[in-house]
Structure 1
Amino acid sequence: MAWYYIAFDTVKQFFTIKGRETLNELITMISNCTEFMDVKLRTNEKKILNALNKDKDKITIRFPMEGKIKTREMKINCLIQAQLGCIPIQDFTLTQDTGRIFRNGLRVTRWLSDFLASCKNNFSALLNSLILAKCFRCKLWENSLHVSKQLEKIGVSLSNAMVNAGLTSFKKIEDINARELELILNRHPPFGNQIKESVLHLPKYKLDIEQV
Structure 2
Amino acid sequence: MESMPANMLASAGIKVVLTTRDEQRGLQALETLKASGLSHSVVLHQLDVADAASVATLANFVKSQFGKLDILVNNDGIGGVEIKDGNLFNSALITNGCVSNEWAKGVFSYDENLSEERIDEVLKEFIKDFEQGSLERKGWPRYLATYTVAKASMNAYTRIIAKKYPNFCINCVCPGYVKTDITANIGFFTAKEGVAHPARLALLPNGNPFGLYYIQNEVSSF
Using the size of structure 2 for normalisation, the TM-score is 0.25
- Considering fraction of residues, name the structure with more helix: 1
Greater radius of gyration (CA): 1
- TM-score, normalization: structure 1? 0.26
